[in-house]
Amino acid sequence: MMGNTLDLATDNQYEEAYQYNRLLVALEASQGKLDLLIAVCEDRNLQAQIIERYEQELGQQGIRCLRVWVQAQDPSLRLALERLVAQEPALQTGQAAVVTVQGIDSLIAVRLGEPQSQQEQFFGYLQWTREAFRQFHFPVVVWVTGAVLTQLAERSPDFWSWRGGVFWFGLRPEDLPPVMPTMTIAIPKIEPAELQDLLQQIEDLEKQPEANPAQLASLFEKLGELYANRVKSGKDRQFAIQAYKRAIQLQTQLGKPAELARSWERLGDLYFELRDDVGLATEAYNQALQLYREVGDRLGEANTLRAIGDVLQFLKQSREALQRYDAALALFRDVGDRLGEAYTLQAIGDVLQFLDQRSEALQRYDAALALYREVGSRLGEANTLRAIGDVLQFL
């Protein structure tokens, strides 16, 4: 894959570049076979920029890039592609190619006295002519708006089930009204057996007209956990984030505050591990904190307060971090979590050392060391001894 990234002036450049690179990888990997890829974007200028960028990069690899516009007078994607193939020898001879489809969002959604609107005709063609797409042996990028995407999932579920991926530019899945079963995240198809089995379970369940949302939420939560526990790459974390977001969406619909709190906390952990926008981590932790307090989970509340303290210390807001750590410490002591108490004492010692309050830091480290030894945490003991050594060396 080309090493370039997309330079987009959006509120979340990392996410935009990440989605772009996913799309580029899918296009490169789909040469010689049909792959239906759906790109979602509200801003036509942004859409044009992205299309021009991937056409330029793919062209440098010898991949022919073509565009087709869905015609209002005959709104059929299959017909539009067939006409393009008839006009382009490259598509007939099997040359590496990518076809970009535009114009769907321009189709009229109202009937204007006709039996069906242009959009209704388009979705109907998609639903009943899916098999006809087997004749095409190249990836197709279909550009839609969020509203069209929702209609596509609802009105053409057969076609929707064939999608190779959904790519978001300028908006996110959670920005759309929830539709079941629509917002499956696109994940690479080549995965270890455990992940592959889980992905198949999710796909099978979402195909069912009356999919069990509780079961689906549990599967997405497990998917997020599996990706989070893989090699700590940014891509794995991003897949884990998307899985937890989907779990949160379902858990919110189901009214499951305890499960929702855990998902929000884990989402905060992932955002903080990435370090790209720790404000997102804080937002997620605050959601978890509120829910833990609502359900009376004092241990969950303590863990989340400590996590918020970690974010604040990362932001060099040391006084605010100490407040969260002190609150967490009190809760850990109340519930009798000695290891949690030790971790928090060590974190408080780190903050105090940062504030040049080294005598006070030593007191916290000594207390943490005693607790680590009590619970048998050799790693915690080693880390604390090293911290104590650093303070003593300075003094």
Label each residue of 89-105 as H, E or C.
Answer: HHHHCCCCEEEEEECHH
Vertex 320 angle, CA 316 and 325, to 5°: 105
Q: What are the tokens at 11?
A: 């509120």
The Cβ of residue 257 has, within 10 Å, a number of other Cβ atoms equal to 16
3-state DSSP percent of the chain in helix, strand and coil, to 5: 65, 10, 25
- Rounded to whole angstroms, how far apart are CA atoms 130 and 237? 34
Matching residue, tokens 């370039």 = 4
Residue 193's pLDDT is 67
Length of the chain: 395
Q: 304-350: per-residue pLDDT in tens?
A: 999 999 999 999 999 999 999 999 999 999 988 888 999 999 999 99
Q: Is 187 left (phi over 0), alpha (psi -120 to 50) or beta?
A: beta
Answer whether the bond into residue 213 is a cis peptide, omega within 30°. no
Distance set, CA 317 to CA 75, 279, 290, 355, 360 (Å): 57, 13, 22, 11, 18
- Rounded to whole angstroms, how far apart are CA atoms 386 and 137? 60
- Are the beta carbons of 311 and 278 closer than 8 angstroms? yes
Matching residue, tokens 């990706």 = 227
Residue 101's pLDDT is 92
Closest to 126 measured CA to CA, from 166, 81, 95:
81
The Cβ of residue 167 has, within 10 Å, a number of other Cβ atoms equal to 21
Residue 240's pLDDT is 84
Q: Which pTM value belongs to this model?
A: 0.53
- Rounded to whole angstroms, how far apart are CA atoms 261 and 302? 13
Vertex 184 angle, CA 181 and 187, to 5°: 160
Residue 144 DSSP SS3 = strand
- Rounded to whole angstroms, how far apart are CA atoms 312 and 320? 7
Residue 178's pLDDT is 47
DSSP 188-208: -S---HHHHHHHHHHHHHHHS
- Crossing angle (nearest 10°) for helices 298-314 and 257-274: 20
Type of residue at 140: V
CA atoms within 13 A on the CB side of 236: 13
Sheet holding 163-169, edge to edge: 64-69, 97-102, 139-144, 35-41, 163-169
Q: What are the tokens at 178?
A: 């929830």
The Cβ of residue 18 has, within 10 Å, a number of other Cβ atoms equal to 19
Residue 144 — φ and ψ, nearest 5°?
-140, 165
Kindly give the parts of the chain with pLDDT less than 70.
1-14, 109-116, 125, 127-132, 157-158, 161, 172-194, 230-235
Q: Which residues partner with 143 through β-bridges?
A: 39
Residue 181's pLDDT is 36
Q: What are the tokens at 350?
A: 């780190």
Residue 109's pLDDT is 64
Q: Which residues partner with 142 through β-bridges?
A: 38, 101
Closest to 258 measured CA to CA, from 225, 293, 224:
293
The Cβ of residue 191 has, within 10 Å, a number of other Cβ atoms equal to 16
- Rounded to whole angstroms, how far apart are CA atoms 280 and 260? 16
43 secondary structure, DSSP code: -
- Rounded to whole angstroms, how far apart are CA atoms 218 and 257? 14
Residue 238's pLDDT is 79
